[in-house]
Amino acid sequence: MRYISTRGGIAPLRFQDAVMMGLARDGGLLLPETLPAISADTLDRWQHLPYQYLAREILSLFIDDIPATDLEELVERSYASFAHPQVTPVCKQGEVYILELFHGPTLAFKDVALQLLGNLFEYVLARTGGFMNILGATSGDTGSAAIAGVRGKAGINIFILHPHGRTSPIQALQMTTVLDPNVFNIAVNGSFDDAQAIVKAIFNDLAFRDAYQLGAVNSINWARVLAQVVYYVYAYLKLRKQGASSVDFSVPTGNFGDIFAGFVARRLLPAGCIHTLILATNENDILTRFVSQGEYSRGQVITTSSPSMDIQIASNFERYLYYLRGENGGQVKADMEGFAATGTLDLSAFKAQIAEDFSSRSVSEPETIATIGDFHRQHGYLLDPHTAVGVKAALELKDANRPVVCLATAHPAKFGAAVAQAIGSEPPLPPALSDLASRESRCAVLDADIDAIKDFVVANALR
């Protein structure tokens, strides 16, 4: 298996090289040259596998430069820290199924990928004798999950940018109370899109990138997406075991990474296994507008109770664009350069194809809070605001003939204020969060200025 750039400007890479490169050196995103196909017979064989075994089977389709025994150990170690024996359990709640992705160490779906990615980085560096300075931006949960994945690991320093005051208080504390000497938090005076733009610009400074051996943990890293493909297949197999031949998924998304993993899973599985991918957005509806109108156009970021989705530029969109453009890297390069210059990209000629790939619903802030309250009253089950966006979209768009699985992306206790607004009281804090407010924290507050961020990295990086 080899990996190429969405913009067509690099030679094919092996998996380990793709993981360490993160963002392609031509500014594109990495993808496998071809996607494997999974047969119905293979699904029969996988039907009863525990999560870790299924993960090894799926990952091995994309990884041929890590010995099977080493991959097995990496997977086992990555998911040993999860509190639930099924890692990502599926439960029925009323008219929908909930895929619980919040049983990892930071209580967010990002743990599923970032526990594995941290171990992959450590594995490769141990064999090369190298070092890495990880640079990433987070709208909420990626930062704490990335930090949890690499804290204390030899040969790795990590720098995480988050928008100052625009994450939930618990999300910020989960990052800034980690005091390991290899962890550096930067609160940026600006939006997540500002922070993400700085990170991408620094990665595209190839001389700086090479001098400091920069590595990526955002979902621009293909390993992040690959790890997330597993839980779509796992959830589908759970419902297949119950007699479902076709399943829909509702995915709260802002950066397009999680739903792109579903898009990959849909292409891997036999036709019809995953029927519809419901793309659920909050009031930051760039992706819903894209699905409904065929126009991808930047707007103003709106602050909501689901801050991980408060995004107007979806960094993984380029991967989907690659397939929409018939795997034409040159056209994708031209598209993305045009979008960077104008803030808009007209893809209305592809509306029919887009409609086959996704349905979409933008969920307002009042609808989000109401959904948390209604779902709790009806089923005794608490949703975090991101998951509530997905559940509301699923209830509106679901097909009565197919089960719909809603991705629960974070523990509700991480968003206590929104939950309290919905049900009248904050949820109890699980042990992992109960003493965060009393812990010492460390964070640099910097302007959204590329030179200021570079100077901070230079002063603290491994070399």
Cα–Cα distance, 200 to 97 (Å, whole number)? 36
Q: Does residue 183 surpass a pLDDT of 90?
A: yes
What mean pLDDT comes out for the span 349-356?
A: 96
Chain mean pLDDT for the chain: 95
Tell me what percent of the residues of the chain surpass a pLDDT of 70. Answer: 100
Catalytic residues: 110
- Strands (E) across 15-89 are located at 30-32
The answer as to whether 61 is a domain residue is no
Overall number of domains in the chain: 1
The answer as to whether 186 is a domain residue is no
Q: How many CB atoms lie within 10 A of CB 95?
A: 14
The answer as to whether 147 is a domain residue is no
Extract the tokens encoding 10.
């690099």
pLDDT at 139: 80
Radius of gyration in angstroms for the set of CA atoms belonging to the chain, rounded to a whole number: 20
Confidence class for position 140, pLDDT limits 50, 70, 90: confident
How does pLDDT run across 57-115, given as a tens digit for each residue? 999 999 999 999 999 999 999 999 999 999 999 999 999 999 999 999 999 999 999 99
Lowest mean pLDDT among 51-55, 232-236, 301-305: 301-305
Confidence class for position 190, pLDDT limits 50, 70, 90: very high
How does pLDDT run across 389-406, given as a tens digit for each residue? 999 999 999 999 999 999
Check which CATH number belongs to the domain holding 338 and give it.
Answer: 3.40.50.1100
Closest CA to 120 of 148, 143, 149, 147: 149
The answer as to whether 412 is a domain residue is yes
Closest CA to 251 of 288, 280, 224: 280
Tell me what percent of the residues of the chain surpass a pLDDT of 90. Answer: 89
Q: The dihedral of CA 351, 354, 359, 362: what is its sign?
A: negative
The burial of 33, by beta-carbon neighbours within 10 Å (0-12 exposed, 13-18 middle, 19 or more buried), is given as: exposed
Q: What is the DSSP letter of 343?
A: S
- Global pTM reads 0.94
The answer as to whether 315 is a domain residue is yes
What mean pLDDT comes out for the span 177-195?
A: 95
The answer as to whether 240 is a domain residue is yes
Whether 404 contacts 428, CB under 8 Å:
no
pLDDT at 307: 86
How does pLDDT run across 286-328, given as a tens digit for each residue? 999 999 999 999 989 899 999 889 888 898 999 999 999 999 9
pLDDT at 429: 87
pLDDT at 193: 87
What mean pLDDT comes out for the span 147-165?
A: 94
Whether 109 contacts 235, CB under 8 Å:
no
pLDDT at 313: 87
The answer as to whether 8 is a domain residue is no
In whole angstroms, how far apart are CA 357 and each of 87, 120, 266, 278? 28, 31, 9, 9
Range of the domain at 288: 90-107+222-423
Confidence class for position 56, pLDDT limits 50, 70, 90: very high
Closest CA to 302 of 285, 327, 323: 285
The answer as to whether 76 is a domain residue is no
pLDDT at 74: 98
For residue 101, give every residue at least 6 positions away whose Cβ sits within 8 Å of its Cβ, in sequence order, or none.
88, 108, 109, 112, 231, 407, 408, 409
